[in-house]
Structures are given as structure tokens and as C-alpha cells.
């Protein structure tokens, strides 16, 4: 259906709501509705209690890592309550540790072979954009710690990167859950944003692994330079995400090529298994940083100009 916009005051425009929708939802003058805007779409809804999504699963015999991954995926998909059955103390411990990374989730009941995990607040007062930007800044700090702490021989700081990755997981899991539970946000192209959140979480894992490897390695000037260039590349991608400019994309591409060449050359002279694994991890991190930027190329206003 179509509605005509009517001018009201100097800058405001108003429209009428369909009478059958008003009657169906028992609305009257003075009631409040939710108005959410997303690009060219505007969604008007009433504040109704959402249906509780409950799932019961048996993760017995799964590797503990797979069991905790299942719980995080269920959280991201938007389940409000999960009843989990298991058969080992190792799985129980993995589940308890993972729940601590899932904002809003709490273990309400636990026995020897099962636990009930539930959202204790249906609407957390958290801002998606703020959490996403905070995630970028934590990842940036993780990369800088890899460089600075390794250079000065601070093994404790390198080991502490793991705790930073926990916060990355917390924020990104929440952002993914928020998208899945907000269908009005899942507009054209929004699946790309979900994928970007996914690979940011992967970047956190890679930087955590790199920090752990570096804590047991002697400083290598070539690898140190690669880490420094990665940090510059990630800063470029972060800046591009919020302020896309053609020259930023070009500079990032050239730096990414330089990093790839440096990693390839270093492989020829790497003397330890740890050094090789660190190079593989840095290569994955550089790919993620570069692809974060390429997935935003469509936002370049220069590409949409004629002539």
C-alpha cells in the first residue's frame, strides 16, 4: 500500500497508519510504537514480548571445543534458552567457560549431566555500533601488543593477548545475535556485514595464536617488520570501514602485496617450526585485514559517479 506524506510544521512530514493495522493491534492516540530506519526502509512496530526460542540438545561424545562452539552458534542465532545434556566433566567445563563470553546468558541450573542456559534480560542496553567500533580498537591493540611486547621481550603482555580475544568474542557474538534477532536490519547486503563480523572473530583467534607463538621465540627483525606492516594495514582497513576513500584502498592494496612478498621471502630462511607457524598466522591476519576493506568497496562514492 502507499501513503502520501503531509507537511506538518517547517520540516516535519507525517503519514497515516492503516486503520485495520491499528485495530488489529488495539492502538489508540497517545500509544507508543517503535520506529526503526535502515537505509531506504522504515519499520514501524509495536512493543510486543518476543516469543521465547528454546532448544534442547545432547552434546555427549562431542569434543569439548565442538560443544562450546555449538553453544556460541546457538547464542548468535538468537536462542533465549538452551538445555544441554552432556556426558563428561570436560564438556561441562568447556560449556561453563563459553557461557562467560556470551553477554546476557547465565547458567540457571546445572546437574552432573545437564545444564539450563538462559538469557536473563530480553533486551540488553548495548549499542551495536559502539560494540563494533570497540572490537576494532581491541584488535588494533592486540596487533600493536604483538609488535611492542615482542620487541621489548615482555612475555606476560604477549600471553595476555588471550584475555583481549575473549572480549573480541563477547562483542562480536552479541553483534551477530543482534543482527539475527533484528529482521528489520537484514536488508540488501546485510549478510556481508554478518560475514565481516565472522572474520573479525577469526582475526582475534589469529592474533591470539601469534602472540602465544612470539612469547616463546627470539626477536626476529624480519618478522617484526611484517607485524608492523600488518598493524598499518589493519589501521587502514579500520579507517576505510568508517570513512571509505579511493586512495586508502589503493594504499592498502600496495601494502598488502608488500606483506605477502615479505612473508614468502621469510619462509625461505625461517629456521624454526614456530617461526613458520607465526608466518602462516600473520599471512591469514593480513588477508583478513585486506578483505575487510575490499568488502566495503561498494561504499566508495567515487565508483558511483558517471564519466
**Residue 273 and residue 153 in one domain:** yes
**Residue 106 and residue 151 in one domain:** no
pLDDT given at position 217: 94
Report the distance separating Cα 115 and Cα 85, nearest Å: 7
Report the distance separating Cα 204 and Cα 201, nearest Å: 5
**Residue 101 and residue 165 in one domain:** no
**Residue 82 and residue 111 in one domain:** yes
The answer to whether residue 138 scores a pLDDT higher than 90 is yes
**Residue 74 and residue 135 in one domain:** no
Task: Answer whether residue 60 is part of any domain.
Answer: yes
| Domain end residue (candidates: 65, 93, 119) | 119
**Residue 65 and residue 199 in one domain:** no
Instruction: Summarize the confidence of residues 68-82 as an average pLDDT.
Output: 91
Task: Answer whether residue 306 is part of any domain.
Answer: no
Choose the weakest-confidence range: 20-34, 182-196, 257-271, 275-289. Answer: 182-196
Task: Answer whether residue 134 is part of any domain.
Answer: yes
Report the distance separating Cα 124 and Cα 196, nearest Å: 22
The answer to whether residue 304 scores a pLDDT higher than 70 is no
**Residue 12 and residue 64 in one domain:** no
pLDDT given at position 28: 81
135 and 200 in contact (C-beta within 8 Å)? yes
3-state secondary structure (DSSP) of residue 56: strand
What is the chain's mean pLDDT, rounded? 87
**Residue 179 and residue 295 in one domain:** yes
Task: Answer whether residue 285 is part of any domain.
Answer: yes
The answer to whether residue 228 scores a pLDDT higher than 70 is yes
Choose the weakest-confidence range: 19-28, 96-105, 162-171, 207-216. Answer: 19-28
Report the distance separating Cα 35 and Cα 44, nearest Å: 5
Question: How distant is the alpha carbon of residue 2 from its chain centre?
Answer: 37
Pairing of strands 54-58, 81-85: parallel
Would you place residue 33 in the very low, low, confident or very high pLDDT band (cuts 50, 70, 90)? confident
82 and 117 in contact (C-beta within 8 Å)? yes
Q: Find the CATH number of the domain harbouring 21.
A: 2.10.260
What's the predicted TM-score (pTM) here? 0.79
Choose the weakest-confidence range: 35-49, 152-166, 196-210. Answer: 35-49
pLDDT given at position 187: 59
**Residue 243 and residue 288 in one domain:** yes
pLDDT given at position 307: 42
**Sheet of 81-85: strands edge to edge?**
54-58, 81-85, 114-119, 105-110
Task: Answer whether residue 13 is part of any domain.
Answer: yes
| Domain end residue (candidates: 98, 119, 140) | 119
Report the distance separating Cα 177 and Cα 194, nearest Å: 10
| Domain end residue (candidates: 71, 92, 119) | 119
Report which secondary-structure segment, H or E, holds 257. helix 246-267
pLDDT given at position 149: 97
The answer to whether residue 47 scores a pLDDT higher than 80 is no
Report the distance separating Cα 172 and Cα 184, nearest Å: 19
Measured in residues, the chain has a length of 307
Instruction: Summarize the confidence of residues 177-195 as an average pLDDT.
Output: 73
**Residue 208 and residue 253 in one domain:** yes
pLDDT given at position 298: 73
Q: 262 CB contacts (<8 Å, ≥6 apart)?
A: 222, 225, 226, 229
**Residue 69 and residue 199 in one domain:** no
The answer to whether residue 124 scores a pLDDT higher than 70 is no
3-state secondary structure (DSSP) of residue 244: coil
**Residue 75 and residue 210 in one domain:** no
Q: At what angle do helices 273-294 and 221-242 cross, to 10 degrees?
A: 20
Count the domains in the chain.
3
What is the extent of the structural domain holding 142? 128-300
285 and 203 in contact (C-beta within 8 Å)? yes
Instruction: Summarize the confidence of residues 229-242 as an average pLDDT.
Output: 95
pLDDT given at position 305: 54
Task: Answer whether residue 307 is part of any domain.
Answer: no
Q: Find the CATH number of the domain harbouring 82.
A: 3.30.110.40
Amino acid at each position: 500500500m502507499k501513503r502520501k506524506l503531509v507537511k506538518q510544521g517547517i520540516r516535519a512530514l507525517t503519514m497515516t497508519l492503516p486503520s485495520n493495522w491499528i485495530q488489529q493491534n488495539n492502538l489508540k492516540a497517545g500509544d507508543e510504537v517503535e520506529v526503526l530506519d535502515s537505509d531506504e526502509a522504515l519499520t514501524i512496530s509495536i512493543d510486543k514480548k518476543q516469543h521465547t526460542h528454546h532448544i534442547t540438545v545432547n552434546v555427549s561424545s562431542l569434543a569439548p571445543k565442538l560443544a562450546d562452539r555449538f553453544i556460541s552458534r546457538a547464542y548468535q542465532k538468537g536462542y533465549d534458552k538452551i538445555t544441554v545434556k552432556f556426558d563428561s566433566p570436560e564438556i561441562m567445563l568447556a560449556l561453563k567457560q563459553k557461557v562467560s563470553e556470551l553477554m546476557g546468558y547465565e547458567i540457571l541450573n546445572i546437574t552432573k549431566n545437564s545444564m539450563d542456559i538462559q538469557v536473563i534480560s530480553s533486551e540488553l542496553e548495548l549499542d551495536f555500533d559502539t560494540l563494533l567500533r570497540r572490537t576494532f580498537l581491541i584488535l588494533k591493540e592486540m596487533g600493536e601488543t604483538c609488535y611492542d611486547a615482542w620487541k621489548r621481550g615482555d612475555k606476560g603482555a604477549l600471553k595476555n593477548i588471550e584475555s583481549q580475544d575473549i572480549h573480541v568474542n563477547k562483542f562480536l557474538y552479541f553483534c551477530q545475535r543482534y543482527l539475527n534477532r533484528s529482521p528489520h536490519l537484514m536488508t540488501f547486503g546485510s549478510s556481508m556485514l554478518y560475514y565481516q563480523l565472522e572474520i573479525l572473530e577469526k582475526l582475534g583467534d589469529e592474533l591470539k595464536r601469534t602472540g602465544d607463538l612470539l612469547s616463546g621465540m627470539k626477536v626476529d627483525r624480519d618478522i617484526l617488520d611484517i607485524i608492523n606492516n600488518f598493524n598499518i594495514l589493519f589501521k587502514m582497513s579500520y579507517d576505510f570501514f568508517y570513512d571509505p576513500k579511493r586512495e586508502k584502498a589503493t594504499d592498502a592494496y600496495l601494502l598488502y602485496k608488500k606483506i605477502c612478498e615479505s612473508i614468502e621471502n621469510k619462509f625461505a630462511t625461517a629456521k624454526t617450526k614456530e617461526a613458520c607457524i607465526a608466518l602462516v598466522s600473520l599471512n591469514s591476519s593480513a588477508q583478513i585485514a585486506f578483505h575487510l576493506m575490499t568488502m566495503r568497496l561498494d561504499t566508495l562514492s567515487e565508483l558511483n559517479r558517471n564519466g
